[in-house]
Structure 1
């Protein structure tokens, strides 16, 4: 197969491990994995599709670990899972019609807002002992934000996990670890929905995606352990780092 070469794997495998590691801690692993597939020479839509395959597997591992440690509320997040799934499917269909540069213009608006939210310590709820209030307002916030960010994930993807963490922390008032855990569940739904669309469109190199998935899963496993043990010291800096990467990537595309 044209893209399944030793040179390609040497480029991809370490980067996909690191992408999984970063994604499990603060989201945004797609900022590393998608450019890695593009650097390996895959066409843009094939790169996005193959990236969805490996990232879905990695996010699954991370999600299971957060669920096992009690940082995910499965029952509460069901409406958000549904809206995220629908949003991602819509976004995946739209990505066949739009270019990367058109999305970049939108991100130029989003980035300063996201940067302000991340850098403002008062907005992050780091109190792990505080009880999270699950009410109608929280249902609406998580469902709506999951739909909107799900559309973005299906359309393009990088930074999705970070934006979900920000939305759940700032607007749904979850502490940063629960926001991370619940965001993994939503990100898994958006990845799976987008994966179905790209599979049906024939835009995935399955063997390459499976190999990449193994390394991404390993990175997610290692990273999720650190996120749960020392979240306050690790997660905010990683989120900031991810947003800086995203800014550089977008500016470089103009």
Structure 2
């Protein structure tokens, strides 16, 4: 009875909808990132009277668990260069923190048309380049990997702190295009780095009290379930499967930003 009281303010329909969408978000996020494109709107629609900061905090509670599970699943199959991983994670964490700080100073709306344009270019480029990410195309020196990786971490980390949704997808594409990784390896690196950048944001939200823990825990379990399925399918199906899901997520991101720019 005590557990049921925790959800007294929410209808069964709301809980069920959030659970299903958290599972879906976990699945997509495990494959190519971008789970926030599903999970954040799900929270906004089903909890319309909840402050936006609390929505973001609750999303992080759920998302970080699923991303961590996916990262662990990939780590069992992919060999990491941990020096490179640590360096990229450091730049991602710092730039993500700076992005979160600057968002309170600069109106993020002015950059949305630029993001939309970049997403359209990414969609066309990935679609036309059929062999992109199907295998490791480059053998870069460690020095070049560090330089390109730090550049990816700095730019995408800032975006993750400033905007957020789809950050994992940008990491993935950066590792494929600049470092020459295949989609499976790139996705594995993206998961680990996303975990690092998400920890900082989650700590801020927890300190501020901007979260609904009971909702977050329910969504976290569902996010984990979706993440387990998504990571297993990605590892079993390979690069072509990840490429298709990546294209779908980029299309969703284009629709989301186009709606923000031209409709709202």
TM-score scaled to structure 1, two decimals?
Answer: 0.90
Change in 2 beyond 3 A, CA 1:105/1:51: same
Shift of 1:232: 2.6
Change in 2 beyond 3 A, CA 1:162/1:14: same
Summarize the alignment of residues 2-13 of structure 1 with structure 2, pairs less than 5 Å apart. 4-13=10-19
Summarize the alignment of residues 23-102 of structure 1 with structure 2, pairs less than 5 Å apart. 23-40=29-46, 41=48, 42-97=50-105, 101-102=109-110
Q: 1:104 aligns with which of 101, 106, 112?
A: 112
Shift of 1:6: 2.6
Change in 2 beyond 3 A, CA 1:50/1:100: farther
Greater shift, 73-82 or 170-179, is seen at 73-82
Shift of 1:103: 4.7
Q: State how far apart, in whole Å, the 2-side matches of 1:85 and 1:5 are.
A: 37
Shift of 1:23: 0.9
Q: Residue 21 in 1 paired to residue 5 in 2? A: no
CA deviation digits over 1:167-213, x for unaligned, max 9? 00001111111111111111111111211222223322222212111
Q: Which runs of 5+ in 2 are unaligned?
A: 1-5
Q: State how far apart, in whole Å, the 1-side matches of 2:206 and 2:99 are.
A: 15
Q: State how far apart, in whole Å, the 1-side matches of 2:9 and 2:106 are.
A: 25
Q: Residue 125 in 1 paired to residue 103 in 2? A: no
Summarize the alignment of residues 162-201 of structure 1 with structure 2, pairs less than 5 Å apart. 162-201=169-208
Q: CA RMSD in A?
A: 2.2
**2:156 aligned partner:** 149
Q: Tell me, what secondary structure is at the counterpart of 2:84?
A: coil
**2:228 aligned partner:** 221
Q: State how far apart, in whole Å, the 1-side matches of 2:131 and 2:177 are.
A: 6
Q: Which runs of 5+ in 1 are unaligned?
A: none
Q: State how far apart, in whole Å, the 2-side matches of 1:116 and 1:160 are.
A: 19
Change in 2 beyond 3 A, CA 1:207/1:106: farther
Q: State how far apart, in whole Å, the 2-side matches of 1:192 and 1:3 are.
A: 28
Q: How many residue pairs were aligned?
A: 253
Greater shift, 168-177 or 150-159, is seen at 150-159
Larger Rg: 2
Aligned partners of 1:26 and 1:235 also within 8 Å? yes
**2:248 aligned partner:** 241
Aligned partners of 1:17 and 1:216 also within 8 Å? yes
Change in 2 beyond 3 A, CA 1:30/1:236: same
Change in 2 beyond 3 A, CA 1:3/1:93: farther
Q: Residue 252 in 1 paired to residue 259 in 2? A: yes
Q: Tell me, what secondary structure is at the counterpart of 2:173?
A: helix
